[in-house]
A and B are shown apart, each in its own frame.
Chain A
Amino acid sequence: QVQLQESGPGLVKPSETLSLTCTVSGGSISSYYWSWIRQPPGKGLEWIGYIYYSGGTNYIPSLKSRVSISRDTSKNQFSLELRSVTAADTAMYYCAKTVAGSFPDSHFYMDVWGTGTPVTVSS
């Protein structure tokens, strides 16, 4: 049974880089897709991007210039880096195992989620 756990600093200063890691157990990150999602306080969910089994990545256009997702297969971890953060990046950040495909229909969904880690951007 796949489990995910986010980790990283809970406080980041404006203009600096937010770095989070997701540790996966019970499954290999060399299979499936792996996403990052965030949720500002009191607001809805926003998908950030994914890294998939071969190491390829895809990001939401609004964050594309500031975000990177990478992986360490030896540790079975994948990571999020968000540069030049502002208060608007304050949120709960989740990592999730993602299923994607085109047969028999086009589908993309997050079936296992981590518990989330809160990040505050403040000086």
Chain B
Amino acid sequence: QSVLTQPPSASGTPGQRVTISCSGSSSNIGRNTVNWYQQFPGTAPRLLIYRNNQRPSGVPVRFSGSKSGTSASLAISGLQSEDEADYYCAAWDDSLNGDVFGTGTEVTVL
């Protein structure tokens, strides 16, 4: 049972901006930084955004993250067909003393 809530799906046409929300609580997002992972079918997750808004080397600049209070968002600006994947948010939870993932969002490019 995931502690962080995401919409199950999101979609857009090529070039559009798509945002994915991640809702948590004071024990996780409210106190700790948020990370985002991208996962293509049949492959391992890949770190996409860390510490709320930092991009690892190699991640396109069209991916950006933000956090406010107990919620966070991932934005994809200029959606491309290769962005079709599942996206998960995650944050450390001080009450559980463990890392928690979001429910996951499937992004479709129309």
List chain A positions with a Cβ less than 8 A from chain B: 35, 37, 44-47, 49, 58-61, 94, 99, 105-116
Contacts of A105 in B (CB 8 A): 32-33, 51-52
> Assuming A107-B32, A109-B35, is B44 touching A94 (CB within 8 A)?
yes
Tell whether, in the assembled complex, residue B88 and residue A44 are in contact, meaning their CB atoms are under 8 Å apart: yes
Which one of B44, B46, B47 has the highest number of Cβ atoms from chain A below 10 Å of its Cβ?
A: B44
Tell whether, in the assembled complex, residue A58 and residue B47 are in contact, meaning their CB atoms are under 8 Å apart: no
Tell whether, in the assembled complex, residue B98 and residue A61 are in contact, meaning their CB atoms are under 8 Å apart: yes
Tell whether, in the assembled complex, residue A109 and residue B90 are in contact, meaning their CB atoms are under 8 Å apart: yes
Could you tell me how many residues of chain B have their Cβ less than 8 Å away from some Cβ of chain A?
28
Contacts of A106 in B (CB 8 A): 31-33, 92
30 contacts between A and B (CB under 8 A): A35-B99, A44-B101, A44-B104, A45-B45, A46-B101, A47-B98, A47-B99, A47-B101, A58-B97, A60-B98, A61-B98, A94-B45, A99-B50, A105-B33, A106-B32, A106-B33, A106-B92, A108-B35, A108-B91, A108-B92, A109-B33, A109-B50, A110-B35, A110-B47, A111-B47, A111-B50, A113-B44, A114-B44, A115-B44, A116-B44
Summarize A's interface: helix, strand, loop or mixed. strand
Contact with A along B45-60 (1 / 0, CB 8 A): 1110011100010000
**Distance from A47 Cβ to chain B, minimum over Cβ atoms (Å):** 4
Contacts of A60 in B (CB 8 A): 96, 98
Contacts of A59 in B (CB 8 A): 98
Tell whether, in the assembled complex, residue A107 and residue B51 are in contact, meaning their CB atoms are under 8 Å apart: yes
**Distance from B60 Cβ to chain A, minimum over Cβ atoms (Å):** 17
